[in-house]
Copies of this chain bind each other. A is one copy, B any other.
Amino acid sequence: MTPAAAGHRVEPRPRFARVAIVGLGLIGGSLALAARGAGVFGRVIGVGRSRANLDEGLTRGAIDEATDDAAAAVIGADLVVLGVPVASMTSVVRAMLPSLGADAIVTDVGSVKAPLVADLDELLAGHARFVGGHPIAGTERSGMAAAFGELFRGRCCVLTPSPRTDPAALAKVRSLWEAVGMRVVDMDAARHDRVLAMVSHLPHVVAYALAGEIEACEAAGEELVPFSAGGLKDFTRVAASDPALWRDIFTMNRDEVAAGIRAYRERLERLEGLIRDGRGDELREELERARSLRRRVES
């Protein structure tokens, strides 16, 4: 007896016969590996500027073809995944517009959504079916060399449908991310940007600023690094993320990120006051409250 005959309905997985992954970075490359493994991608064309990076994708079986020509790659594709940095998305899409099939689904993996979704909705109207998305997964590393198929498992993917989004395309993109192990949540693009500013963009600013401060002290002649312990290492790992990529994320989400930094600076100022004035009880309460977050992050 097959599972279906036994009454266990097998959920139909999406099947994309021809997929163009434009930007074969950590996310695009990992998606190619994962979706291949899950059997939901047919032929995969990788698009990028670095030949070495594309060769890595070919060697590892993530892609079948490699090119630096996005317009050519998307011809006949039923799915186009935009994995380029957020600041490059619209120019990349503009170049491929004439080659897109009207029924093609275009989705992105950008870390900032509101300005991008507005631009791409506008740009792609009448050319293809656009679905904004953000698989919340990553490491401080980048490129196909850092890609791995398990990157998405158990993590959360946010999709940001707009009034212009085709429901059938949305459902297919949702099934794709589910097929590689993600929990998928629909969210307003503006709320996505507010949430990510706090849980991802602000932590990166905080880590870059700390590493920058230590670096400045060392440049001024104070020897610090030999005396560092575990805590600092965690920060420098986060601050090792690609500067060009994060500059673009910070500036594209500038209002939310700046608001987050401001609120954070006020909290630091308050802690500074409690420490300087030796107000131990209040200080301890603050630290206890902060510590309580961990239980929820870990679970």
Show the binding face of A for B, using Cβ within 8 Å. 136-140, 155-156, 158, 185, 194-196, 198-200, 202-218, 222-241, 243-244, 246-248, 250-251, 254-255, 257-258, 260-265, 267-269, 271-272, 275-276, 278, 280, 283-284, 286-294, 296-298
Distance of A246 Cα from B283 Cα, bound (Å) = 9
A247 interface neighbour in B216, B247, B287, Cβ under 8 Å: B287
Sample 8 A-B pairs with CB under 8 A, ordered by A number: A137-B229, A198-B217, A199-B232, A205-B271, A208-B287, A209-B267, A211-B294, A213-B264
Question: In the complex the two chains form, is B280's CB within 8 Å of A247's CB?
Answer: yes
Question: In the complex the two chains form, is B237's CB within 8 Å of A136's CB?
Answer: no
Tally of this chain's copies: 2
Question: In the complex the two chains form, is A224's CB within 8 Å of B195's CB?
Answer: yes
Question: In the complex the two chains form, is A269's CB within 8 Å of B275's CB?
Answer: no
Distance of A276 Cα from B255 Cα, bound (Å) = 7
Distance of A236 Cα from B229 Cα, bound (Å) = 16
What residues on B are CB-neighbors of A294 within 8 Å? 211, 236-237, 239-240
A243 nearest CB neighbor, chain B only: B287
Question: In the complex the two chains form, is A224's CB within 8 Å of B199's CB?
Answer: yes
Distance of A296 Cα from B236 Cα, bound (Å) = 10
What residues on B are CB-neighbors of A257 within 8 Å? 275
Distance of A272 Cα from B215 Cα, bound (Å) = 19
Question: In the complex the two chains form, is A251's CB within 8 Å of B211's CB?
Answer: no
Distance of A136 Cα from B204 Cα, bound (Å) = 26
Question: In the complex the two chains form, is B286's CB within 8 Å of A212's CB?
Answer: yes
What residues on B are CB-neighbors of A224 within 8 Å? 195, 198-199
Distance of A200 Cα from B137 Cα, bound (Å) = 28
Q: Which 3 pairs between the two chains have the least Cβ-Cβ distance?
A: A243-B287, A212-B290, A211-B290
Q: A199-B225, A207-B290, A265-B268 are in contact. List 10 more A-B contacts (CB 8 A).
A: A185-B227, A195-B224, A200-B231, A205-B272, A208-B271, A212-B290, A243-B284, A247-B284, A254-B276, A261-B275
Question: In the complex the two chains form, is A234's CB within 8 Å of B236's CB?
Answer: no
Question: In the complex the two chains form, is A158's CB within 8 Å of B227's CB?
Answer: yes
What residues on B are CB-neighbors of A289 within 8 Å? 212, 215-216
Distance of A243 Cα from B294 Cα, bound (Å) = 13
